[in-house]
Structure 1
């Protein structure tokens, strides 16, 4: 293993995020891209960013100190566990897994090996999210009572379905768009029980792939707090928001018309979601240019991510590299990303929601984490 002087990296998955992670590594002092494993686009990534193409996870692990898992969502478990068992640090893109059992096994492998496992929940690296969490924790809106998340837009069904639109590969809206669920629980704590309805919307025409056209969820939290969550691709008026209502005010994070609003006692304050008002305006313009809204927009591997996203990706990789080399300590605000709690909580609640939809009843999250749902199945 390399020491504080640097790390050799391997990337699993050479798609939209994998390519950009390679570009970012080239700008990180002490980081070297050594190997790439991907059934597609690996040669293009190596031609642009260096390293060499390998044919197996074992070959990749043998030549690196840390592994970035950016493969399709269903294919995270094997490389993450193999890397941890070999004593390698792991950065894993979201969603970490498509089941709680797989997520738990991945995190547990790194815990056993005493290596770093960082979940790629990128919204935590956006300054406005960080400040929103601090404000809510400090009581700026009083006690949270209710929260609502919405990630919706319109798709006309003409695009060719890819892996991101196939539930077996991506988990559909609920898992692939897990950001809002993750941040909701980061802001007000883990859900205790959930219910969900949804599915197809035949009156809206053919959808791309087999993911659900609409998902409407409800969650209860300790202390008599509640939330609703919406996902879908049949909404003509797009929304992409996370709002927390408190006893003394509210805090609204808008990812469509981008910015954060704090209202308390008749006074309203706004501040950027990203590093500046200019960055927020740039993203807002991009969102308005997207035919269906930002909530249903997927990355195109043929294009680079937008600047606001590249900035957040660079921050999370710099943080991972600093932790892995020992050059920086864990940021308490980001501890849930490194101790496994954020990954486990997000996937546990997402699986509980999936079970609630299929069973037609409310599901307690501890039925998933405790295994009783599996035992009864």
Structure 2
């Protein structure tokens, strides 16, 4: 999979000054982006915009501009888009037309068709365009992917995720599939380095809202790995877990704590007859790795900065708009499967 819209490492922002950043959307995610952009060395937040104002008080010394054109007029190098999903396409297309490198919060747009228009606009303009899937920057998942690439799991058989918790009041325009399951769909393809081939899903509506609040989805990636996702907004217990199982054992990532554990296949012979007749693996040693834990949102913005600076290794660390479109295509396939009660080819 490609990692950024532009091909190859090239500095698209001069390296002798900070990247002049604009931020549009000052809501629940935008406020965190404002803080992190200010903290990242080599970035300078020079303009913010939100037609609904600054309810979290993050603008500080900056004027709160009314729209994306006002943001563009300040002469920014790059922008972070954190507006509601239904506005992603219009805002992103305006930035592409103005020649502004952009990261769009996930999902890339409200529909895959809309996302394709956004991706095409940035590609045709030769701009850096990427999508903010912050879970890829979680320390536990970064370490899991590194160890899988190093062959520590052997052949990967299955990736299973669980993302459950109470309903977030911040969400109004999409259901749990486009808001939360999109993370897990992106993660599974990224960890396995393979796109989805087929998917099926079941959803339910239990909170009286227009959109679904629970989903169970399963599928198969193009490389044969099977995947499953349990996602909902109706659990009193918050769970964020990704498990990759392969021929040597399982990696278990808890993204709430940033912890990664490896459970090896055991080689101890059981003396208990009822267990011994099972011809599979047994539980072996478990290791919880000591890993550096940095704030994922900060890592995400540093990666964006490094792509703009043309650092060779950075291109593989951000989520391309093409990948964002693929994830949204899978999301729509899950919803189609739930509506038609059939498996859908991606």
TM-score (norm 2): 0.82
1:143 matches 2:160? no
Which moved further from structure 2: 145-154 or 188-197?
Answer: 145-154
Can you list the C-alpha shifts for 1:49-101, whole angstroms capped at 9, x where unaligned? Answer: x3322223222112122111011122111111111121111011112222111
The corresponding residue for 2:25 is: 13
- Secondary structure of the 2:226 match is strand
The one of 102, 107, 115 aligned to 1:90 = 102
Structure 1 residue aligned with 2:296: 312
Q: Name the residue aligned to 1:343.
A: 324
SS of equivalent residue, structure 1 residue 10:
strand
Matched, 1:322 2:306: yes
Match of 1:172 in 2: 175
Distance 1:13 1:268 in 2: 43
Aligned to 1:60: 71
The one of 172, 181, 203 equivalent to 2:185 is 181
Change (3 A) 1:19 1:234: closer
Q: 1:331 aligns with which of 287, 292, 314?
A: 314
- Over 3 Å counting, the alpha-carbon distance change for 1:54 and 1:134 in structure 2 is same
Root-mean-square deviation (CA, aligned residues, Å) is 2.5
Shift of 1:118: 2.2
Superposition map of 1:55-204 within 5 A:
55-63=66-74, 64-154=76-166, 162=169, 164=171, 166=172, 169=173, 171-177=174-180, 178-188=182-192, 189-201=194-206
Displaced runs of 4+ in structure 1, greater than 4 A? 43-47
- Greater percentage in helix: 1
**Aligned partner of 1:361 among 337, 342, 345:** 342
The residue that corresponds to 2:274 in the other structure is none
Given that 2:140 and 2:258 are in contact with CA atoms closer than 8 Å, whether structure 1 keeps it comes out as no
Once residues 58 and 254 of structure 2 are traced to their aligned partners in structure 1, the CA distance between those partners, rounded to angstroms, is 37
CA distance in 2, matches of 1:21, 1:235: 27
Corresponding position: 1:51 with 2:62: yes
Question: How far is 1:137 from its partner?
Answer: 2.3
Alpha-carbon distance in structure 2 between the residues aligned to 1:44 and 1:196: 37
Deviation for aligned residue 1:243: 0.9
Change (3 A) 1:163 1:47: closer
Question: 3-state DSSP class of the match of 2:107?
Answer: coil
Distance 1:99 1:47, change over 3 A: closer
Q: 1:133 Cα shift?
A: 0.7
**Do 2:80 and 2:104's aligned partners in 1 also have CA atoms closer than 8 Å?**
yes
Unaligned runs of 5+ in 2: 1-11, 266-283
Instruction: Return the offset for 1:105.
Output: 1.5
Higher-Rg structure is 2
Aligned residues: 313
